[in-house]
């Protein structure tokens, strides 16, 4: 009996208030809505404004179309996530993606018309629809990166068989991997999923950690040339789409623009991470080697626990701990988080074929979000639970915004989730075994490394990889560059062996969302800054935090932070985050 057997599964039959999602009916309904919407096309002349009431009517219709489309897409993704090997779920997802791309194509004339309006026509309309102000302003910010309607339509259609098909192929190939744990006693060598194998990266036994990484590296290493080709295809697609056709100055600045962050803000983040991460985490890794009694820390050891973490938590207890941790911060914070299990929207059981990792999906404002994780019963899993429920709180707090503005942009998207983890850490420090305190500090530092240092170096790798693919680099050459990047990130603090050269092909974000990963470094350094404020201000900080979260994605990250008295996001700001992380390193 596995500890995860008692963990809940979500109930997709409760997807809509009236029961399971009626896909056919919703699709038919959507068809009516967007066909109606398309009839307004003749009223929109290029470069010509319209009356404010018509403008606001169109925005309302557009919102309703997006609402139903998101629910459909969300439903299909959840059905696929709970069993990626289910062919019905696979084809439902492909079908819905096709339908949604068609809808996008049918309604894009509005957005193109809006982007094409001269300033004197757009200004008054913008003023007449303050609820949609940020979304409308953001759209116009992409004016010079938008193509003509027929071109945009071709891209949408071709993405289905191009980028999206490649990503599905990557998912199917990698979700099918079975890792044989040859480092375990013979009677335990049953094939593991990636998540099942990853548990051993954190084993207290050095040879198990090494064994697990070797199995991982060998499976991905063998697949490296193939997965590397998929990666090359996606990088080329990004280059042609974002740089050549849409004329973003660089591959990365396309992402920055989507994140509504200035190129200099991101450059500052990565500059500081590149300089500080090897130093701060290097100091930590050297201390960790000493405490583990190792002459030097091997790459296999970076997530080693200080002592055996044999304790496991039944799922109910895990949930209770997270609830109490949130409640110590704020009752509303805890109440909102608990809506997820109460609504049967938490899927924590673990089995082959289920999507790995964890996520929180919220499709429309006010909807109770859906959380997926693969619960293994260890303390680490409690942090994952706190993380995903933190996301859910964020989205529920932002429920008052329209569908275009309730999701926060990537850089702020991890604010509530990582803050939730820190609340749980605080609870462990306060009510846990004092002997565990050092081990807990080490595990926070492990996570800080994984989120800030590792992801920043991932982002630095991506910058180089995107450039090199344009120059014709092979997967083998990219693997060499990756190994160099790793060794710069670790400095002289960690012994690295060459088998990690293919690790990059195992990072889904590189495929699905180029340059996504720096948002993790951004988010955690920001949260460490917020945490320091909470420590200094106590309860007075609570409304401030909630006001940041309640803004959702209704303004730029810098404006949201400035409204709470934070920023500007320059080198000093990031250095402050590193100082807070450094303060966790135990004094010796
Ligand atoms: Zn997250």
Handedness of CA 314, 394, 419, 457 (dihedral sign): positive
Two tokens, residue 15: 């997807």
Structure confidence at residue 1 (pLDDT): 62
Which of 490, 393, 497 lies closest to 449, judged by CA?
490
Two tokens, residue 563: 């409204």
In this predicted structure, the answer to whether residue 308 has a pLDDT above a threshold of 80 is: no
Residue-wise pLDDT for 348-381, tens only, equals: 999 989 998 899 999 999 999 999 999 999 888 9
Q: How far is the CA of 419 from the centre of ligand 1 (A)?
A: 11
Q: How far is the CA of 388 from the centre of ligand 1 (A)?
A: 6
Residue-wise pLDDT for 206-224, tens only, equals: 999 999 999 999 999 999 9
Taking residues 2-8, what's their average pLDDT? 84
Q: How far is the CA of 318 from the centre of ligand 1 (A)?
A: 18
**In the structure, what pLDDT confidence band is assigned to residue 459 with cuts at 50, 70 and 90?**
very high
Q: How far is the CA of 189 from the centre of ligand 1 (A)?
A: 32
Q: How far is the CA of 382 from the centre of ligand 1 (A)?
A: 14
Structure confidence at residue 524 (pLDDT): 92
Q: How far is the CA of 452 from the centre of ligand 1 (A)?
A: 13
Pair 72, 96: CB distance under 8 Å: yes
Distance CA 334, CA 326 (A): 5
Distance CA 148, CA 142 (A): 13
The torsion of the CA quartet 74, 172, 344, 30, rounded to 10 degrees, works out to: 20
Q: How far is the CA of 82 from the centre of ligand 1 (A)?
A: 19
Structure confidence at residue 532 (pLDDT): 83
Taking residues 575-583, what's their average pLDDT? 91
Q: How far is the CA of 211 from the centre of ligand 1 (A)?
A: 28
Q: How far is the CA of 238 from the centre of ligand 1 (A)?
A: 24
The average confidence (pLDDT) of the chain is 94
Q: How far is the CA of 588 from the centre of ligand 1 (A)?
A: 33
Taking residues 482-492, what's their average pLDDT? 97
Residue-wise pLDDT for 402-438, tens only, equals: 999 999 988 899 899 999 999 999 999 898 887 778 8
Residue-wise pLDDT for 277-302, tens only, equals: 999 999 999 999 999 999 999 999 99
Structure confidence at residue 16 (pLDDT): 84
Q: How far is the CA of 116 from the centre of ligand 1 (A)?
A: 36
Q: How far is the CA of 414 from the centre of ligand 1 (A)?
A: 5
Ordered by where they begin, the domains of the chain are 11-160 (1.20.140.70), 168-307+446-512 (1.10.1370.20), 315-440+524-554 (3.40.390)
Q: How far is the CA of 474 from the centre of ligand 1 (A)?
A: 32
Structure confidence at residue 409 (pLDDT): 84
Q: How far is the CA of 98 from the centre of ligand 1 (A)?
A: 27
Taking residues 5-10, what's their average pLDDT? 92
Structure confidence at residue 439 (pLDDT): 84
**In the structure, what pLDDT confidence band is assigned to residue 389 with cuts at 50, 70 and 90?**
very high
Distance CA 515, CA 14 (A): 35
Residue-wise pLDDT for 317-349, tens only, equals: 999 999 999 999 999 999 999 999 999 999 999
Structure confidence at residue 475 (pLDDT): 97
Structure confidence at residue 345 (pLDDT): 98
pTM: 0.85
In this predicted structure, the answer to whether residue 50 has a pLDDT above a threshold of 90 is: yes
Q: Burial, 306: exposed, middle or buried (Cβ in 10 Å; 0-12, 13-18, 19+)?
A: middle
């Amino acid at each position: 009996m596995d500890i995860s057997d008692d963990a809940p599964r979500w109930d997709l039959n409760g997807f809509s208030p009236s029961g399971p999602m009626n896909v056919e009916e919703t699709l038919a309904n959507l068809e009516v809505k967007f066909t109606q919407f398309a009839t307004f096309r003749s009223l929109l002349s290029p470069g010509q404004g319209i009356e404010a009431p018509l403008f606001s009517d169109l925005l309302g219709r557009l919102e309703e179309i997006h609402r139903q489309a998101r629910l459909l897409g969300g439903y299909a993704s959840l059905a696929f996530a709970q069993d990626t090997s289910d062919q019905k779920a696979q084809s439902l997802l492909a079908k819905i993606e096709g339908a949604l791309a068609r809808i996008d194509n049918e309604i894009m004339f509005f957005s193109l018309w809006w982007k094409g309006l001269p300033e004197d026509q757009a200004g008054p309309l913008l003023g007449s629809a303050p609820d949609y102000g940020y979304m409308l302003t953001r759209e116009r910010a992409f004016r010079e990166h938008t193509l003509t309607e027929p071109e945009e339509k071709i891209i949408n259609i071709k993405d289905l068989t191009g980028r999206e098909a490649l990503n599905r192929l990557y998912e199917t190939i990698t979700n099918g991997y079975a890792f044989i744990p040859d480092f375990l006693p013979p009677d335990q060598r049953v094939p593991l999923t990636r998540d099942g194998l990853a548990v051993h990266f954190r084993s207290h036994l050095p040879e198990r950690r090494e064994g697990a990484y070797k199995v991982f590296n060998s499976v991905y290493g063998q697949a490296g040339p193939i997965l590397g080709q998929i990666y090359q295809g996606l990088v080329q697609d990004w280059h042609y789409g974002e740089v050549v056709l849409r004329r973003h100055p660089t591959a990365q600045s396309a992402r920055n623009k989507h994140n509504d962050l200035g190129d200099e803000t991101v450059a500052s983040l990565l500059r500081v991470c590149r300089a500080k991460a090897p130093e701060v985490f290097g100091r930590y890794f050297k201390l960790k080697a000493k405490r583990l009694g190792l002459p030097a820390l091997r790459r296999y050891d970076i997530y080693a626990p200080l002592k055996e973490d044999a304790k496991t938590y039944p799922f109910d207890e895990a949930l209770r701990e997270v609830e109490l941790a949130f409640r110590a911060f704020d009752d509303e914070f805890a109440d909102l988080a608990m809506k997820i299990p109460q609504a049967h929207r938490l899927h924590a059981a673990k089995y082959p074929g289920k999507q790995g990792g964890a996520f929180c999906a919220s499709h429309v404002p006010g909807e109770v979000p859906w959380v997926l994780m693969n619960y293994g019963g260890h303390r680490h899993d409690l942090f994952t639970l706190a993380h995903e429920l933190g996301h859910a709180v964020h989205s529920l707090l932002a429920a008052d915004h329209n569908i275009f503005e309730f999701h926060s942009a990537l850089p702020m998207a991890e604010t509530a989730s990582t803050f939730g983890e820190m609340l749980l850490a605080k609870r462990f420090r306060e009510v846990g075994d004092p002997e565990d305190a050092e081990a807990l500090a080490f595990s926070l530092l492990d996570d800080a490394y994984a989120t800030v240092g590792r992801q920043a170096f991932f982002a630095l790798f991506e910058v180089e990889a995107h450039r090199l693919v344009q120059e014709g680099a092979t997967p083998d050459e990219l693997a060499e560059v990756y190994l160099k990047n790793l060794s710069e990130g670790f400095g002289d603090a960690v012994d690295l062996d060459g088998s990690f050269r293919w690790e990059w092909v195992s990072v889904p974000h590189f495929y699905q969302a180029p340059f996504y990963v720096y948002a993790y470094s951004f988010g955690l350094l920001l949260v460490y800054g917020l945490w320091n404020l909470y420590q200094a201000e106590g309860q007075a900080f609570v409304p401030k935090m909630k006001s940041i979260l309640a803004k959702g994605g209704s303004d730029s990250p810098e404006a949201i932070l400035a409204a709470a008295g934070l920023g500007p996001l320059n080198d000093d700001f990031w250095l402050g985050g590193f100082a807070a992380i450094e303060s966790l390193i135990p004094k010796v």
